[in-house]
Amino acid sequence: MSSTSDRLSIPIMTGFETGEEFNVSMFTEDLYQDIVPIRARDYPHACRLEPKDKSAEQQLVALFSAFNRLSSKSLTDMIFEAIRHIGGSLVTAGSIALELVKLTNADDDEVRTDHKLMYISGDKVIRDGHIVQRLTPEEAAQWDTAQEIKIPLEKCWIIDFPDNLGGKKGYLKFLQEMKELGNSDPFRIFLDNELRGLKGYDIAKHHKIADLSLWEQTKEFGWHHRETSGKMFSGYYMINRRLRFRKTQFILRDHIIAELIKYVDQFLSSDDRTFALSIDHIGTTESVSQAIDDWAAGKLQQEELTAVLMYP
């Protein structure tokens, strides 16, 4: 069997600098980890393609196969995994860029063609109708290629962090400020903390002030800081923060779903046939907003709270 690919981007391995700071790492992990159910089998009808077509579903399974860490090949499994992976890139890097790659496998009896979305990793910019992937001299030498790889934009799918949560630029600025604040915590800079030698200095009080500053900084997103002790704030306020953070997660998820549905419809549809992907039965932003209002009014029941904060 022979295989060919029209991939232009280079699959280099990179890390995210923002993940090095403890609070940023926790925040980004919390933001995307639970945006869709982990067990897709509990939501067998969440993702549907209309009209139903086995061949089109198989095309989508192949399209999103780079995201698949599961043995299942169901459409809902693949879509949920794609949403989760896209979310992971958005919360760490502010955007994701994918290349639509055509894969051809041929043997004596059959030629099979699939399309697969693949990450465009590393340093990249948009220039003159292309995504330009910029390699280090060492990377270029390893792959025996130029330091700049140009991928036409029509071959790419780009998703940025949602505008109603600050957009890519605003979100990355927020992460940087959060990182700087975390790195100035007195417990993090203990050996270099010049205030330790001052009479009356209380490092615990200093840490609490820094912690409160972090809570204020993340207020817009409603992040709960994984707080469970009740020492910092009242139980009422903590539940309020958790509900508002859940709403932030759903706003992020809905943005990804909207972009995904638009891309799938464009990918599958042709002049003589139109497809539409729908994703539902996994909670709504409106239901979380209602829960926030009900909690403030003292009307939210425990089972309702659990249903909003956690997937079954």
Give me the helices (H) in the chain, please. Answer: 22-33, 54-63, 75-93, 137-143, 167-183, 203-217, 235-268, 285-296, 302-309
The reported pLDDT for the residue numbered 229 is 67
Q: What is the pLDDT of residue 18?
A: 43
Token digits of residue 200: 């009356």
Q: Look up residue 151 and give its DSSP letter.
A: E
Rounded Cα distance, 179 and 149, in Å:
31
Phi first, then psi, for residue 158 (nearest 5°) are -120, 130
Mean pLDDT of the chain: 88
Give the C-alpha separation, 236 to 178, whole Å.
Answer: 25
Are the C-beta atoms of 269 and 285 separated by less than 8 Å? Answer: no
pLDDT digits (tens, 9 = 90+) for 11-35: 987 654 444 688 899 999 999 989 9
**pLDDT of 2 strictly over 90:** no
The structure tokens listed for 159 are 């998703």
pLDDT of residue 305: 95
* pLDDT number for residue 108: 65
pLDDT for 193 equals 58
The pLDDT tens digits of the residues spanning 136-162 come to 999 999 999 999 999 999 999 999 999
Cα dihedral value 94, 89, 74, 278, nearest 10:
-10
Tell me: the pLDDT tens digits for 77-124?
A: 889 999 999 999 999 999 999 999 999 987 767 778 899 999 999 899
**Average pLDDT estimate for 165-171:** 97
Q: Find out whether 27 and 223 touch, Cβ atoms under 8 Å.
A: yes
Nearest residue to 155 (alpha-carbon basis) of 186, 115, 113: 115
Beta strands 111-119 and 123-127: pairing type? unpaired
Q: Stretch 191-220: mean pLDDT, rounded?
A: 73
pLDDT of 1 > 70? The answer is no
Exposure b/e, 40-52, CB count within 10 A at least 16 = b = beebeebbbbeee
The answer to whether 133 touches 149, Cβ cutoff 8 Å, is yes
**Measured CA distances, 90 to 4, 30, 180, 286 (Å):** 30, 13, 20, 23
Contact 260, 79 (CB under 8 A): yes
* Phi, psi for 149 (deg, rounded to 5): -110, 125
Question: 237-278: per-residue pLDDT in tens?
Answer: 999 999 999 999 999 999 999 999 999 999 998 878 899 999
Q: Which residues in 195-231 are b (16+ Cβ under 10 Å) and which e?
A: eeeeeeeeeeebeeebbeebeebbeebbbbbebeeee
